């Protein structure tokens, strides 16, 4: 058993070393072959005009984590660094970048600094501001305000794309993910019997799309995490595929004022899970098990899981120490790339 564990860690270590070497080599090639425009980062107002029409898009969300009492520099904000790493991996990294053009959007709350927005635009992202949305939850606080604001990403007047992949910023890629848009469960479908839902919850949309991955609920798990008996009915909202429609957006808004139906402490995830609960009118569908997992471990890295949802600044455990090293390597690859481009 000890020998098998050592062999597995040696395999993952070799994979990580190979990844870093190839990344460095390809990055140097890109640096000398594609110089950065001198006006990529400016101190003046942004003139970027985002394109809001198309079939596919990838979007992430960035809120301000600076309450003003302990100001933090841009690069010391781990969520901002994670968002930049994600954008870099999707658009620039030779190992993970998208193989065809898909807009990468970063939705920011009004209090996110302009310096962060400029940097994200310079990195290649489309940055849009999402205004705070009023909500009447009795437990109104900053978490609920952020939850209500996130729901704007389902508004087709703000995100008018047919199929959208939402990704939390704190994750890293191990390989390109453009083929996820062709996953069998990522096409809009008709709802079930709408009479199952109370009329008080608002009008049920006729069509919808919600494809996601189940919560692993455990740090130590095998790869892939299959849940063959489908006992896990709750999905992780760190990554999901959806289709913005006015009907779905209005339905979600109708649930905001009724947190007693679903709230267990993670309001945005709980709300969407309730709207797409199994047995309800709009049950969620599963993405292929090789795309994404929350709480990743060394088995997921060795098995080539595409997306590892991991806060690299958090303390590692014995089951994910190689994941932590890999995630940090991705972050520093991004930093090195832009240092070279700006030199």
Residue 101 CB partners (closer than 8 Å, separation 6+): none
User: Which CATH number belongs to the domain containing residue 163 in this structure?
Assistant: 3.90.550.10
pTM over 0.95? The answer is: no
The pLDDT, as a whole number, for residue 314 is 78
Residue 9 burial (CB count, 10 A) = 14
Residue 137 resides in a domain: yes
Q: What is the pLDDT of residue 15?
A: 54
- Average pLDDT, integer, range 234-245: 96
More confident site: 91 or 11: 91
| Section 238-249 average pLDDT | 95
For position 261, what pLDDT does the model report?
87
**94 token code pair:** 């030779």
| Domain membership flag for residue 35 | no
| 40-50: average pLDDT | 34
CB atoms inside a 10 Å sphere around CB 38:
8
Please indicate, yes or no, if residue 2 is contained in any of the structural domains: no
Q: Is residue 27 part of a domain?
A: no
- Give the model's confidence band at 43: pLDDT under 50 very low, under 70 low, under 90 confident, else very high: very low
pLDDT of 304 reads 95
Helix (H, G, I), strand (E, B), or coil: what is residue 297? coil
The answer to whether residue 211 scores a pLDDT higher than 90 is yes
Please report, for residues 12, 19, 229, 332, 333, the alpha-carbon distance to residue 339 in angstroms, rounded to integers and kept in the order given.
28, 20, 48, 10, 10
Number of structural domains found in the chain: 1
Contact 31, 337 (CB under 8 A): yes
Which pLDDT belongs to residue 40?
29
Domain containing 81 equals: 52-342
pLDDT, the chain, mean:
82
pLDDT for res 38: 30
- The confidence score (pLDDT) of residue 198 equals 55
The answer, yes or no, to whether residue 10 has pLDDT greater than 90, is no
Residue 223 has pLDDT above 70, yes or no: yes
Report helix, strand and coil shares of the chain as percent, to nearest 5.
40, 15, 45
What's the average model confidence in pLDDT over 27-44?
35
Q: Is residue 25 part of a domain?
A: no
pLDDT of residue 196: 55
pLDDT of residue 231: 81
What is the per-residue pLDDT across 244-298, written as a single tens digit (0 to 9) for each?
Answer: 999 999 999 888 888 888 877 787 899 999 999 998 999 999 999 999 999 999 9
Angstrom distance (rounded) from CA 193 to CA 76: 49
Residue 297 in domain: yes
pLDDT at res. 93 = 98
Range with the largest mean pLDDT of 9-23, 55-69, 249-263, 326-340: 326-340
User: 90 lies in a domain?
Assistant: yes
pLDDT class for 50, splitting at 50, 70, 90? Answer: very low
Q: What is the mean pLDDT of residues 88-117?
A: 96
Q: Give the tens place of pLDDT for each residue, 114-147.
A: 999 999 999 999 999 998 877 665 555 666 677 7
CA torsion through residues 325, 304, 225, 9, sign: negative
pLDDT for the residue 45: 32
Q: Please, which residues have CB within 8 angstroms of residue 149's CB and are 6 or more apart in sequence?
A: 63, 109, 130, 131, 132, 133
Average pLDDT on 310-325 reads 83
Q: Which of 2-6, 143-147, 182-186 is the least confident region?
A: 2-6
Residue 175 is assigned to a structural domain of this protein? yes
pLDDT recorded at residue 71 = 64
Q: Where residue 320 falls among pLDDT bands split at 50, 70, 90?
A: confident
């Amino acid at each position: 058993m000890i020998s098998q564990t050592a062999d597995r860690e040696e395999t993952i270590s070799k994979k990580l070393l190979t990844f870093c070497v190839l990344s460095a080599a390809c990055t140097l090639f890109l640096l000398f072959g594609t110089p950065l425009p001198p006006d990529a980062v400016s101190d003046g107002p942004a003139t970027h005009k985002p394109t809001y029409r198309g079939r596919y898009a990838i979007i992430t969300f960035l809120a301000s984590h600076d309450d003003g009492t302990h100001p933090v520099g841009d690069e010391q904000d781990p969520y901002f660094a994670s968002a930049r790493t994600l954008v870099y991996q999707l658009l620039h990294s030779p190992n993970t970048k998208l193989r065809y053009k898909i807009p990468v959007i970063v939705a920011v709350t009004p209090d996110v600094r302009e310096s962060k927005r400029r940097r994200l635009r310079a990195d290649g992202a489309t940055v849009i501001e999402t205004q705070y949305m009023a909500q009447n939850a009795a437990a109104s606080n900053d978490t609920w305000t952020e939850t209500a604001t996130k729901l704007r990403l389902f508004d087709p007047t703000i995100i008018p794309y047919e199929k959208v992949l939402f990704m939390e910023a704190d994750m890293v890629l191990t390989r390109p993910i453009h083929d996820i848009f062709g996953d069998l469960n990522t096409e809009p479908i008709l709802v079930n019997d709408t009479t199952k839902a109370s009329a008080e919850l608002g009008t049920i949309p006729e069509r919808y799309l919600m494809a996601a991955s189940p919560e692993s609920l455990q740090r130590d798990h095998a790869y892939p995490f299959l849940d063959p008996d489908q006992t896990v009915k709750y999905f992780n909202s760190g990554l999901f595929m959806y289709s913005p429609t006015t009907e779905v957006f209005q339905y979600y808004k109708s649930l905001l004022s009724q947190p007693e139906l679903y709230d267990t402490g993670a309001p945005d995830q709980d709300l969407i899970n309730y709207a797409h609960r199994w047995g309800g009118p709009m049950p969620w569908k599963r993405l292929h098990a090789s795309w994404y997992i929350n709480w990743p471990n060394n088995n997921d890295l060795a098995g080539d899981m595409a997306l590892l949802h991991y806060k690299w600044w958090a303390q590692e455990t014995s089951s994910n120490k190689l994941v932590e090293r890999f995630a940090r390597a991705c972050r520093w690859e991004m930093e090195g790339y832009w240092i070279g481009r700006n030199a």
